[in-house]
C-alpha cells in the first residue's frame, strides 16, 4: 500500500514538474533527505534517478534561471567536484570508489540546481520546510520510539542510506533543529508553531536515543548557541531543564555507562571505538601522503587491503571524521579545497546576517542566516567524529547562501550615462 501511495505522489509531482520545474527540485530534495523509497520495495527504489532526470529536462526547457549566482562557494563546489572526479580515476580501487563518486556529484548537482532556482522568499521557505519535514520524520518517530521503549534500544536511520548509522542520523537531526526553530519563529499560526516545537522536543529525545556520544557534544554546542541567541531565555532554559530531567530519570543505566566514557582521558583511551578511530585517522593521513596528490579515492582508505597495509592486526574502520575522511580519500589538496569551502560558507553567512539586519523587510534572511550558521557549526563539531563529509543537508545549507546573498547584498550604483555633444571631445 505504501508503495502505491508513493508512486501516485511521484507521478503527480512529476506532472507538476513539467509545468513548474522547481516542484521537481523539492521532490528531489525530499527523496535525498528522507529516502522514502527505502521503506518500499520494487521499482520505486530507483525513483530518485527518474525524478532527477525529469527535473533537469524540465528545468533546461523552461524559462527558469540557468546559472546560479556567482561566488566563491559556487567555484569551491565546482573545483571540489572536478578534483574528486579526477581523483576517482587514480583511486586505490576505482571500481569501488566510482559508486560513491556517482552519489556525491549528484548531491552537489542538486545543491547547484537549488541555488539556480531559488529566486524568492517563497522558494527559500519551501526548501527549508522540505528539509525539516524530511528529517522530522525520523526525529518524531525516533523520539516516540525512545519514549515507548524506555530508551533501551538505539534509534537508527533508514538502511542503505548515508544516515543509517545512529551517529550519522543524530547529526542529521541536529542540523535540522535550527532550521525548524527558524520556521517556528516565522509562522503566524499558533498550531504550526506548537507542532514545530513538539517536533523539536521529540527530535532532541530521538538524538538522545541514538546513544551517540558525538551527537551529545553537538547537542551541547547547539544548546549553548541557543542560549546566546534566544530572546526568551527563561523559556529556553525551562524547556532545556525538562529535557535534561527527562534524560536523567528516563534513560536506562546503559546510556549513562556509554556517555561516561567521555569523562576522562583514561576511559577514552581504553574505549575500543575511540582506539579504532585513531587508527583510521592514521590510515587516512598515510594514504594521503603515500598516494599524493589525489589520495585513495572515495571510501578507499577503509578497504581492508589498503587499511591492513598500515595496520595488519587492526580491524578496518571508516575514517569517523569528515576531515580525515576527505584527507584520506582526496589528499591534502582535496582537504584544503573542502576546508576553504567551509570557511567561505561561514564568511558568507556572516555577511548575509549583517547585510539583512540593516533592512527591516529582510530580517527573515538574517534569522535564516543564523539558523544556517548554527546548522553548519553542529555539522563541523559533530562531524569531527564521524564520516559524513558529503551529507546532502550540508550541501543544501552552503548552496542556499548563494541566492540569499544575492537577495541582500548591497547593490552597486552605476554612474548615469550622459550624452556628450558632438565635437566636445575633439
Per-residue model confidence as pLDDT tens digits over 354-375: 999 887 788 999 999 999 999 9
Is pLDDT of 326 > 90? Answer: yes
For residue 248, the surrounding DSSP H or E stretch is helix 233-250
Distance CA(35)–CA(107), nearest Å, equals 13
pLDDT on residue 252:
74
* Residue 95 preceded by cis peptide, ω within 30: no
Distance CA(381)–CA(198), nearest Å, equals 25
Go through 32-50 and write b for each residue having 16 or more CB atoms within 10 A of its CB, e for each that does not: bbbbbbbebeeebeebbee
Measured over the CA atoms of residue 225, residue 231, residue 237 and residue 243, the dihedral's sign is negative
Measured over the CA atoms of residue 222, residue 104, residue 162 and residue 284, the dihedral's sign is negative
pLDDT on residue 236:
61
Q: How far is CA 208 from CA 113, 158, 175, 250, in A?
A: 34, 18, 14, 11
The separation between CA 214 and the C-alpha centre of its own chain, rounded to angstroms, equals 16
Q: Which residues contact 236 (CB under 8 A, 6 or more apart)?
A: 226, 227, 230
Looking from the CA of 55 toward its CB, the CA atoms found within 13 Å total 24
Q: How many residues does the chain have?
A: 426
The separation between CA 171 and the C-alpha centre of its own chain, rounded to angstroms, equals 9
Comparing CA positions, the residue from 304, 330, 305, 329 lying closest to residue 317 is 304
pLDDT on residue 132:
96
Q: Which residues contact 405 (CB under 8 A, 6 or more apart)?
A: 69, 71, 348, 351, 352, 355
Is pLDDT of 237 > 70? Answer: no
Looking from the CA of 203 toward its CB, the CA atoms found within 13 Å total 28
By the 8 A CB rule, do 149 and 97 touch?
no
pLDDT on residue 426:
44
Q: What share of the chain is helix, strand, coil (3-state, %, to 5)?
A: 75, 0, 25
Q: Which residues contact 110 (CB under 8 A, 6 or more apart)?
A: 25, 28, 29, 32, 52, 392, 395, 396
pLDDT-derived band at 190, boundaries 50, 70, 90 = very high
By the 8 A CB rule, do 147 and 156 touch?
no
Please return the burial class of 6, using the count of CB atoms within 10 Å of its CB with bins 0-12, 13-18 and 19+.
middle
pLDDT in tens, 396-422: 999 999 999 999 987 654 454 555 555
Q: Stretch 75-79: mean pLDDT, rounded?
A: 95
Question: Cell for 96?
Answer: 569501488
Percentage above 90 pLDDT, the chain: 56
The angle subtended at Cα 326 by Cα 322 and Cα 328, nearest 5°, is 115
pLDDT-derived band at 296, boundaries 50, 70, 90 = very high
Distance CA(319)–CA(5), nearest Å, equals 38
Amino acid at each position: 500500500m505504501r508503495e502505491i501511495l508513493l508512486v501516485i505522489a511521484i507521478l503527480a509531482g512529476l506532472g507538476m514538474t513539467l509545468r513548474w520545474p522547481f516542484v521537481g527540485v523539492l521532490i528531489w530534495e525530499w527523496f535525498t533527505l528522507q529516502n522514502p523509497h527505502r521503506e518500499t520495495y520494487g521499482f520505486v527504489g530507483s525513483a530518485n534517478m527518474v525524478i532527477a532526470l525529469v527535473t533537469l529536462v524540465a528545468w533546461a526547457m523552461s524559462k527558469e534561471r540557468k546559472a546560479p549566482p556567482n561566488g566563491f562557494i559556487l567555484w569551491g563546489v565546482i573545483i571540489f567536484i572536478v578534483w574528486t572526479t579526477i581523483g576517482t580515476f587514480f583511486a586505490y580501487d576505482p571500481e569501488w570508489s566510482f559508486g560513491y563518486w556517482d552519489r556525491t556529484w549528484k548531491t552537489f548537482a542538486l545543491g547547484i540546481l537549488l541555488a539556480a532556482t531559488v529566486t524568492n522568499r517563497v522558494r527559500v521557505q519551501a526548501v527549508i520546510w522540505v528539509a525539516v519535514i524530511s528529517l522530522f520524520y525520523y526525529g518524531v518517530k525516533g523520539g516516540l520510539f525512545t519514549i515507548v521503549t524506555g530508551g533501551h534500544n538505539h534509534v537508527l536511520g533508514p538502511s542503505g542510506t548515508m544516515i543509517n548509522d545512529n551517529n550519522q542520523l543524530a547529526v542529521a537531526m541536529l542540523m535540522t533543529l535550527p532550521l525548524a526553530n527558524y520556521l517556528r519563529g516565522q509562522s503566524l499560526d499558533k498550531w504550526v508553531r506548537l507542532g514545530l516545537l513538539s517536533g523539536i522536543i521529540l527530535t532532541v529525545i530521538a538524538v538522545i536515543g541514538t546513544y551517540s556520544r558525538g551527537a551529545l557534544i553537538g547537542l551541547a554546542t547547539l544548546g549553548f548557541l541557543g542560549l546566546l541567541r534566544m530572546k526568551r531565555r527563561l523559556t529556553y532554559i525551562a524547556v532545556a531543564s525538562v529535557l535534561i530531567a527527562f534524560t536523567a530519570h528516563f534513560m536506562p543505566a546503559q546510556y549513562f555507562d556509554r556517555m561516561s566514557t567521555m569523562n576522562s582521558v583514561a576511559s577514552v583511551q581504553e574505549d575500543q571505538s575511540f582506539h579504532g578511530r585513531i587508527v583510521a585517522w592514521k590510515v587516512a593521513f598515510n594514504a594521503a601522503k603515500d598516494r599524493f596528490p589525489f589520495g585513495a579515492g572515495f571510501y578507499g582508505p577503509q578497504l581492508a587491503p589498503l587499511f591492513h597495509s598500515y595496520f595488519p592486526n587492526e580491524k578496518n574502520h571508516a575514517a569517523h571524521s569528515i576531515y580525515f575522511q576527505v584527507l584520506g580519500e582526496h589528499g591534502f589538496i582535496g582537504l584544503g579545497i573542502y576546508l576553504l569551502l567551509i570557511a567561505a560558507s561561514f564568511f558568507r553567512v556572516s555577511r548575509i546576517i549583517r547585510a539583512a539586519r540593516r533592512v527591516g523587510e529582510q530580517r527573515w534572511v538574517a534569522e535564516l542566516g543564523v539558523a544556517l550558521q548554527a546548522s553548519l557549526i553542529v555539522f563541523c563539531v559533530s562531524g569531527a567524529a564521524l564520516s559524513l563529509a558529503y551529507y546532502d543537508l550540508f550541501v543544501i545549507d552552503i548552496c542556499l547562501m548563494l541566492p540569499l546573498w544575492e537577495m541582500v547584498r548591497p547593490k552597486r550604483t552605476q554612474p548615469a550615462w550622459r550624452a556628450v555633444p558632438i565635437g566636445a571631445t575633439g
